[in-house]
Structures are given as C-alpha cells and as structure tokens.
Amino acid sequence: MEYVGAADSRRSARFRASWESVTPYLFVSPVLGLMLTFIYWPLAYSVFLSTLEWNFISPDREFVGLDNFRRLLDDDRFGQAIRNTGVYLLALVPIVVLLPLGLALLLGPIRRSRFQTVYRVALFSPTVVAFPVAAVVWLWIFNPVGGVLNQLLEAIGGSGANWLADPKTALWCVVGVCAWRLVGYNLLLYLAALEGVPVEYIEAAAIDGAGSWATFRDIRWPLIQPTVFFMVVTAVIFISDTAFGAIYVLTDGGPFGQTTNALYYLYERGFRFFQIGEASAVSVLIFVAVTAITWLQFRLLERHVHYG
Amino acid sequence: MAYAQHVTRRSLLKNSLVPVATGAAAAAMPWTAKAEQQGSMTLQYWQAYGEYPAIAEMRTRFNEANPSIRVEASVYNDYLELAQALQSAAAANNLPDLAGVGYTFIRYVVANVPHLTTQDALAFNDEDANYLTDGFAPNILALGQVDGVQHGMPLVIGTPYLFYNADLFARSGLDRGPQTWDEVREFARAIKDATGQYGLGISAPADFWTHQALVESNGAQLLISETGQPPRTGIDSPEAIEALQLHVDMTLKEETAVHLDFRQGEQAFASGQVGMHVASGGSLQTIQLTAAFEIGTTPFPTFGDKPRRVPAGGNNLFIFATDEEQQRAAWEFIKFCTSPDMLTLLSEDTGYIPPRRGLIDDPNYLKPFFDANPLYAAEVLQVPDTVPWVSWPGKRGLEAEQVLLDLRDRILVGSQDVPGAARDAAKRVNELIQE
C-alpha cells in the first residue's frame, strides 16, 4: 500500500527537478533578450531590408528580391570600396600586429623605470583622442599649403604633394592615420602579455646561454601567441571601423571614392542617400565576409597557437 | 543542484518585489513631471550648425513673451546630420515640432516627411494671409518652394563670395578685389609671380554649392525642369564646361589655384598663403579669428556681363507637429523668428543675410550693422542674384550630388578631361533623377 505522503514527495521531487532545469535559462534570459533585441533581430531584419527598395519612411516600399545585390555588383564605386577594404586589411593587419610587438620588446628593459607612465601615456593617447579633434591636426599636417609634412619634405630637399586630394596618396594617408590610432592599444596588450611570461623561464634560458633572439623565439613568442592570435582576429574585424572614422574626417570617401571602404560605402548608401535596401545588402555581404574570414582564421591559424 | 532547492515560488516573488517597486516608482515620475507642466506646451525645435547666441536669445524671448509655450532646441553639427536625425525620427514616428531643414534637402523632406506647409499655416490667422508676399522677395520665397508650393519658411541666407588677402594683394601691386573671372585669373597670376603663393582657392565642401555658383554664373543651369519633360542636368552644357575648365586650367596648367577640401582651404587662406578664397560668410567668421592680415571681400565674380547667380545656403523652417495646437504654436514661433527684430538680432550675430526685404537698408534695423561691417557688404550686394541651392528630385536625387563631387575631384586632379567627365556625370545624374 502506498503512503499518501509518498505521492507528495514524488510531486515535490518532480517540481524541484524541473525547476533546476529551468533556473539556468531564467538567469541567462535577460542577456539573451538583449542579444536577441540588439544583435539577432537587427541581423534578421537587415536581411529582410536588403530585399526592398525603400528609404525607411516613405509609404512606397517595393520588394525587389536580389536586385539590390545585383545593383551593387554593377556599381563601380562598390567594387572600388571592396578593393580599398582589401588594401586597408593587407596594409594594416601586419602593421598593427607586428609594430606594437617590436615596440613592446624595445620598451621591455625600461618597463619598470620611472618613465614608464610617460611613454605609456604618449603611446596610448592616440587611441583615446577623439577623431574629430585629431582630424583638425591631421588636416593641417597633410595640407599642401604650409602643412607640416610638405614643409619637412621640402626642408630635406624633397617635394610635397596634395596628399588628401591626390588619388595616389590619399588612401595611404588614411592607412597612416589608422596605424597611428591603433598601435598604442595593441602595444599595451603586448606589454601585458610579455609581463605574463614567467621570469624564471627567461633566467633559465640566460643560464643556458640563450641570446635575445633565441629567448624571444623559443620562450616569449610561444607564450604570447594567444595574444597575437586575438590581435589578428580582432584587427580584421575592427580595422574597417577605424578606417571609417579616418575616412569620415579626412576625405569623405574621396577623391572620387579612392579612399572609400565597404563600411563607408554602407554609410553613404544608408545615411547620405537614404537607400536602406542597398545599405542593408552591403551589411549582409560584410557580415558574410567577416564571418568567413574569422572562421578561416580559426581553422587555419588556431592550430598553431600555443595555449600553454 | 543545492542552490536550486532554495529557490521557491515564495522566494522568487519576494525577491522580485524590490525591482518591480523601483520600476513602478520610476514609471510614475514622468506623470508627476507632466502634472507640474500642465497648462504649458513644449515645442521641440531642431537646428543645425551650433547654438548661436542669437538663436538661444530668440528662444528665450519667445518663451518669455508666450508663457504657455516653451521652445526647446536640439542642435546638430550640420544639415546632413539634421536630415539623418529627421529620417530616424520619421521612422520612429517621433518627429520634432519644427526644424531648420537645409535648402538642399527640401525636395527629399517634402516628398518623404509629413509636414504642414507654410502655405497652409497662413490659414491659421486671417491677418497672416499676405505675410509672405508683404515681407519677402519672390526669389527668397522660392528657397522654400517645391513646384510653386511654399513648404518651408526661409530663415537664414548665405551665399558664396570672394575674400582676399589685402596684404598679398598690396605686395602684388593690386589695390582692389576682382570683379570678373578674367580678373581673378589675372590677379592670381600676379600674386604667384610676385609672392610665390597660390592666388586662388575655391572652397570644396561635401556638396557642389560653390561650383553651382561657378557654372550657373556662366549661364549654365545645373537642374533643368521643363513642363512635360523629365528633369535633367545642364552640367555638360558648353557654359558649365567652360566655367569648370577655367578652374581646372588655373589649378593644373597655370598652378595659380589650389584644390583643397573645405577645412584645409580655410586653414590655407587664414595662414596667409593663398591670395583669394571663395566661400561662405560662415567661413569668413572662422578665418577672421586667426588671420593675421587685412581681409577684403568682393561679390562672387561674374563672367563678363553675364548675370551673377549664387545659390543660397541656409535653412527653411518646417512644421512637423501633427496636433493643431502645436502647429499653431510652431507657426507663431516661425513668425517670431522671421520678425524684423529677431532677424536683425540673428544677422548681427551670424553675419548671414536676413530673408525679409528692407531690413538691410533700414536705419532702425540692419543698416548700421552692415555699414559698420564692410566685409559683409559683398554678400549684401548679391542678394538680388540669389537662386535656390539645387535640390535634386527623384528617389535617388540625393545621390546625384555625389556624382558632381566626384566630377569636381576628378577634373581638379587631372584624372579626366573636363568635357568627358562632365558628359559622364550628366549621364549618371540624369539616370538618378529620372528614375
């Protein structure tokens, strides 16, 4: 015969079990809600918008299927933007990944000196200075009439240029400004990563007669690889964003699209010409490209990363 | 898991009380604030290009004179940023009650953003029936019209004119500003020969405004609208090509002119290294702050005897409020802002030309100001020559401006010849505005 209390115990146990399985989801639901609202819903809506010819406010809204994507393929300016994006990545990824590493190694011996705050502030300040403020100075540096760069070149016997108006030089000016802005942040990350290398390993290598290069190659480099990998992945994702800021303040995408990248092209389509369908099509293509590149990076590079 | 055993329905309810109570209290606060403001109406007004003291003063005086209405302003960096904000606000059904829309955006706003036209606002009061025709010249009212309908009320007007470095001029044997483009060319050559400095810079902002003045003053028409015909551009007309070729020859062949963007152009002229600079009165104020030389001004040069045509920069006041009481209040604010006293205040602070006729020559209003500030005389002289800043029609009209900017940049760096570039630009612009 079954006790009456036994049924109550089983119900209570079932409630506790189902409550235990639901509770974790309740805890993550606020964050999930935020992600759905601000990441996944806009992503899905962008895909929908990319099939429309619409300016977001007019009652005239036309479904055009893949026409926006076809229009992009026919647009020379979009082709130029994609090529420029490739140039920015190929030029800037090595600069912002390797140059800060070199600087961090050079600064290593004086990292504990009383001047460390000075050099860290000096090297990190480009990252925190607002772009519009820095733009006024950069525009003056690049000004062909009395600008600092032309004056320096002329002083050493060279000749100046109309840096931002000349299609041969404008893009490289944007590359230079982006490198100036990004190096400082990555330098700090490298300094922290190198600081994390156990000093006993370095001392042991010194006792065994290893020189600077061998110490770097066999001890420091393997141990900072996670940081390097992180920088490579984030550089590919965020360089376009930094370049957008530089393009916006220095060249407005000109001369005639020679400095425009995919992100700036998206901005023009969506926020200057109010062609929301085309802008959304660009955003879908950027999303697919960045996802593919990031996946490839994990697939091809991560196997070489030593996680200690 | 042990922690889950302590989570019961009772504890969950108890632990939720605090955030729910806090949220309820927060939600109640706006209602409290609303109760305090009962009886007063707030108008949201959006404006571009910073908070001039005169505009803040206009709002303060209006609020004092109309205790039941409170005008609050949001400020945007430029007309593009304001247009972008209007776009977002329209999508969210949260438009301001009124805004100063840049002249070049008038067609886009008229076609896409619901608003009360100025023409319809006149019907609020019988005495306003002749408000526009009594106080404003037809060419000024045209700045707020699309297809003959008065949609917006012009508030400020700025046209491009020529500033010159009087010190460089003196060193080059020149004692006055140029009146024609032939003289500009000749003076620029004289400055280059005598001082080694560039003779001319034409402001190159992210729009075609100054070059519209250049081509239209030579008789071209940037936008041709004929009844029964699709709109088209005249950028490939012989007159436009001739005007653009002049600028290109001075820049690339004679090297007496330099092609710089808007901000670099200001920097270069203010540093005393360019003899002449074509830009707006707003640039003049900026340059005066840093220039260490005497500045002279002269109206936008003409091509021989052809009439000068200078596009107006500035904005129209548009009413976006949907509630009739808000619309009436907005119209009262617009009339207040365009009254002789307020326009005088605004012009004295900004140097911009008032849209209302008669104020400039009236000793009770702006005559003393413009007499005391001769640098603005050049702009005053060309008020009768003011034409609308082209606002491109069609769903893709906004893109047409970019085509012309690319044309300007291509020809001024020598990437393409002027006739070919103008033909390509005309073809593309016509495709866009006829779509």
- Note the pLDDT tens digit of each residue in A39-97: 999 999 999 999 999 998 888 899 999 999 999 999 999 999 999 999 999 999 999 99
pLDDT at B201 over 80: yes
The strand ranges marked E within chain A are 52-53, 62-63
Asked if B192 and B199 count as a contact pair (C-beta separation under 8 A), the reply is yes
How many C-beta atoms lie closer than 10 Å to residue A169's C-beta? 16
Q: Can you read off the two tokens belonging to residue B63?
A: 């609020």
In whole angstroms, give the CA distance from residue B62 to residue B367: 24
Task: Determine, for residues A273 and B402 on separate chains, whether the beta-carbon distance falls below 8 Å.
Answer: yes
Q: How far is B305 from chain A (nearest CA, A)?
A: 33
In whole angstroms, give the CA distance from residue A288 to residue B126: 61
In whole angstroms, give the CA distance from residue A163 to residue B264: 11
- Note the pLDDT tens digit of each residue in B41-52: 999 999 998 778
In whole angstroms, give the CA distance from residue B419 to residue B423: 6
Q: How far is B159 from chain A (nearest CA, A)?
A: 23
- Note the pLDDT tens digit of each residue in B345-382: 999 988 889 999 999 999 999 999 999 999 999 999 99
Chain B residue numbers touching A257 (CB-CB < 8 A): 406
Give residue B129's pLDDT: 87
Q: Does B259 touch chain A (CB under 8 A)?
A: yes
Residue of B nearest to A255 (CA): B409
3-class SS shares of chain B: helix, strand, coil, % to 5? 55, 15, 30
Chain A residue numbers touching B201 (CB-CB < 8 A): 145
Task: Determine, for residues B413 and A271 on separate chains, whether the beta-carbon distance falls below 8 Å.
Answer: no
Chain A residue numbers touching B399 (CB-CB < 8 A): 273, 275
Question: What crossing angle do the helices spanning A131-142 and A170-195 adopt, rounded to 10°?
Answer: 130
In whole angstroms, give the CA distance from residue A295 to residue B188: 58
- Note the pLDDT tens digit of each residue in B77-130: 889 999 999 999 999 999 999 999 999 999 999 999 999 999 999 999 888 889
Chain B residue numbers touching A55 (CB-CB < 8 A): 87, 112, 395
Q: What percent of chain B has pLDDT over 70?
A: 91
Question: For B316, phi and psi rounded to 5 degrees?
Answer: -100, 140
Local structure of B281: helix, strand or coil: helix
Give residue A21's pLDDT: 85
Secondary structure (DSSP) of A210-231: --HHHHIIIIIHHHHHHHHHHH
Give residue B297's pLDDT: 96
Half-sphere exposure of B21 (CA within 13 A, CB side): 6
Q: Does A57 touch chain B (CB under 8 A)?
A: yes
Q: Does A166 touch chain B (CB under 8 A)?
A: yes
Give residue A19's pLDDT: 79
Q: What is the largest CA-CA distance in chain B?
A: 96
pLDDT at B234 over 50: yes
Give residue A237's pLDDT: 87
Residues 6+ apart with CB under 8 A from B362: B340
ipTM at complex level: 0.85
- Note the pLDDT tens digit of each residue in A193-206: 998 999 999 999 99
Top mean-pLDDT range of A106-110, B95-99, B279-283: B95-99
For the whole model, what pTM was predicted?
0.87
pLDDT at B329 over 90: yes
Task: Determine, for residues A272 and B396 on separate chains, whether the beta-carbon distance falls below 8 Å.
Answer: no
Nearest to B87 among A16, A57, A164 (CB): A57
Instruction: Using alpha carbons, list the distances in angstroms from residue B247 to A172, B157, B168, B203.
Output: 27, 26, 21, 12
Q: How far is B409 from chain A (nearest CA, A)?
A: 6
* DSSP β-ladder status, A62-63 and A52-53: antiparallel
pLDDT at B30 over 60: no
In whole angstroms, give the CA distance from residue A81 to residue A278: 14
- Note the pLDDT tens digit of each residue in A132-141: 888 889 999 9
Looking at the DSSP assignment, which residues form a beta bridge with residue B73? Answer: B45
Mean pLDDT of B169-195: 97
In whole angstroms, give the CA distance from residue A32 to residue A26: 10
Nearest to A145 among B1, B258, B409 (CB): B258
Nearest to A16 among B4, B111, B273 (CB): B4
Which of A174, A247, A256 to mutate against chain B (most B CBs within 10 Å)?
A256
Mean pLDDT of B384-412: 94
Give residue A114's pLDDT: 74
Give residue B20's pLDDT: 46
Mean pLDDT of B175-193: 97
Q: Does B108 touch chain A (CB under 8 A)?
A: yes
Mean pLDDT of B283-294: 89
Give residue A307's pLDDT: 73
Work out the burial of residue B209: count CB atoms within 10 Å of its CB; fewer than 13 is exposed, 13-18 middle, 19 or more buried.
buried
Task: Determine, for residues B409 and A256 on separate chains, whether the beta-carbon distance falls below 8 Å.
Answer: yes
Asked if B293 and B272 count as a contact pair (C-beta separation under 8 A), the reply is yes
Which residue, A182, A172, A173, A177, is CA-closest to A103?
A: A182
Half-sphere exposure of B429 (CA within 13 A, CB side): 27
Give residue A3's pLDDT: 53
Query: How confident is residue A111, by pLDDT bands cut at 50, 70 and 90?
Result: low
Give residue B31's pLDDT: 35
Residue of B nearest to A13 (CA): B5
Give residue B28's pLDDT: 41
Q: What percent of chain A has pLDDT over 90?
A: 67
Give residue A109's pLDDT: 74
Q: Does B295 touch chain A (CB under 8 A)?
A: no
Chain A residue numbers touching B79 (CB-CB < 8 A): none
Q: Does B89 touch chain A (CB under 8 A)?
A: no
- Note the pLDDT tens digit of each residue in A247-297: 999 999 989 999 999 999 999 999 999 999 999 999 999 999 999 999 998
The B residues from 201 to 230 touching A (CB cutoff 8 Å) are 201, 206
Give residue B3's pLDDT: 37
In whole angstroms, give the CA distance from residue B97 to residue B50: 19
Asked if B1 and A20 count as a contact pair (C-beta separation under 8 A), the reply is yes
Task: Determine, for residues A57 and B90 on separate chains, whether the beta-carbon distance falls below 8 Å.
Answer: yes
Which residue, A219, A242, A224, A229, is CA-closest to A301?
A: A229
Give residue B281's pLDDT: 83
Dihedral sign from CA coordinates of A117, A119, A121, A123: negative
Residue of A nearest to B90 (CA): A57
Which of A274, A275, A276, A280 to mutate against chain B (most B CBs within 10 Å)?
A274
Chain mean pLDDT for chain A: 90
Q: Does A197 touch chain B (CB under 8 A)?
A: no
Residue of B nearest to A75 (CA): B428
Q: How far is A220 from chain B (nearest CA, A)?
A: 43
Chain mean pLDDT for chain B: 90
Chain A residue numbers touching B409 (CB-CB < 8 A): 165, 254-256
Task: Determine, for residues A273 and B399 on separate chains, whether the beta-carbon distance falls below 8 Å.
Answer: yes
Chain A residue numbers touching B270 (CB-CB < 8 A): none
Give residue B59's pLDDT: 93
Location of structure tokens 């076809």:
A70
Nearest to A143 among B4, B267, B405 (CB): B267
Looking at the DSSP assignment, which residues form a beta bridge with residue B98? Answer: B45, B319
Nearest to B267 among A53, A140, A252 (CB): A140
3-class SS shares of chain A: helix, strand, coil, % to 5? 75, 0, 20
Give residue A5's pLDDT: 65
Task: Determine, for residues A19 and B1 on separate chains, whether the beta-carbon distance falls below 8 Å.
Answer: no
Task: Determine, for residues A146 and B398 on separate chains, whether the beta-carbon distance falls below 8 Å.
Answer: no
Mean pLDDT of A231-237: 90
Q: Can you read off the two tokens belonging to residue A83?
A: 């090529």
The A residues from 270 to 289 touching B (CB cutoff 8 Å) are 271-275
Amino acid (one-letter) located at A173: C
Query: How confident is residue B4, by pLDDT bands cut at 50, 70 and 90?
Result: very low
In whole angstroms, give the CA distance from residue A290 to residue A295: 8
Query: How confident is residue A120, by pLDDT bands cut at 50, 70 and 90?
Result: confident
Mean pLDDT of B215-239: 96
In whole angstroms, give the CA distance from residue A77 to residue A75: 5
Residues 6+ apart with CB under 8 A from B110: B146, B151
Chain A residue numbers touching B87 (CB-CB < 8 A): 55-57, 271, 274
Amino acid (one-letter) located at A136: V
Residues 6+ apart with CB under 8 A from B182: B304
pLDDT at A16 over 90: no
Location of structure tokens 């062909």:
A144
Asked if B375 and B396 count as a contact pair (C-beta separation under 8 A), the reply is no
Local structure of B391: helix, strand or coil: coil
Which residue, B123, B136, B135, B141, is CA-closest to B328?
A: B123
Which residue, B156, B161, B133, B130, is CA-closest to B143?
A: B156
Location of structure tokens 């002027």:
B418
pLDDT at B261 over 80: yes
Task: Determine, for residues A162 and B5 on separate chains, whether the beta-carbon distance falls below 8 Å.
Answer: no
Mean pLDDT of B19-40: 44
Q: What percent of chain B has pLDDT over 90?
A: 80
Buried b (16+ CB within 10 A) or exposed e, A257-270: bbbbbbbbbbbbbb
